[in-house]
A and B are shown apart, each in its own frame.
Chain A
Amino acid sequence: MKFRYATYLCEPSAANPDGVIVRPKVLLNIVGPLGDLFDLALVDTGADHTTLPISIAEELGIPLITEHTTQSSGFSGEEIETVPGEVELAIVAPDSEVRWRTHVYFARFPDESKEGCILGHVGGLQFFSAHFDGERQELTLAPNSKLPTA
């Protein structure tokens, strides 16, 4: 499956003279007992876990394993609460999709406007071989032998 990086226009600056932000994102179908939805998820090889907003778990009725609640942090070290839950995920490309069932973390963001979906190693990238082409701004994902069934 091949994906063009998502492209966002912004004001050119000294650090970003092109005025463009590009991010490798994939279309993620998230399925729970109450339905499903589609979000663009950042493909982040530096993220330990696949992490989704807790509001998605609430909307889709996904049971959370609260006794395994933990903290997660980004580069700055600021911690947020994350709770694991089991979910069905699919990466959707124009000509195909890959679907699997896994445990991911659901993050309780202090500011709802800052929520986001990250396809990290556990629950996501561990099941794929990935090639990032910075020149063409394309990401290629191929499922590997570790991919569980949905």
Chain B
Amino acid sequence: MVTEQAIEIVPPVPQQFAGKWIAWDWKRTRIIASGGTRQDVRRMALTTGEARPILDRVPDPKCNFLGGCRSSL
């Protein structure tokens, strides 16, 4: 028997947030805060009453991401 796994449908992040940090509400239906740094946005999100904000950094379309970290060990 194949069991279908639940998948969360999250709306696309509007262009106005490009390059910024954003905070979603727990259900990821609304962006409740945005700004320049992770810590500032988390603080702002918590003041809205959302106890579990979800933080994300929105890509800057003027600066492509080319891969993650490589340890020098």
Contact = CB atoms under 8 A, between A and B. Distances in A.
B38 A53 contact: yes
Chain A interface, >50% SS class: strand
Contacts of B5: 1-2, 93, 95, 140
22 contacts: A4-B9, A6-B56, A8-B17, A8-B58, A9-B14, A10-B18, A11-B61, A21-B61, A25-B56, A27-B54, A38-B52, A40-B55, A40-B56, A51-B68, A55-B39, A72-B70, A72-B72, A74-B67, A76-B66, A82-B71, A118-B68, A118-B69
Interface residues of B, number: 37
> Closest 10 A-B residue pairs measured CB to CB?
A47-B68, A10-B61, A44-B68, A75-B66, A95-B6, A7-B12, A40-B56, A94-B6, A75-B67, A2-B5
Chain B interface, >50% SS class: loop
For chain A, which range describes its interface: under 10, 10 to 19, 20 to 34, or 35 or more residues?
35 or more
A70 interface: yes
B10 A9 contact: no
A13 B61 contact: yes
A23 B17 CA distance: 16
B13 A116 contact: no
Interface of A: 1-4, 6-11, 13, 16, 20-21, 23, 25, 27, 37-40, 42, 44, 46-49, 51, 53, 55, 59, 70-76, 79, 82, 93-95, 105, 107, 112-116, 118, 120, 138, 140
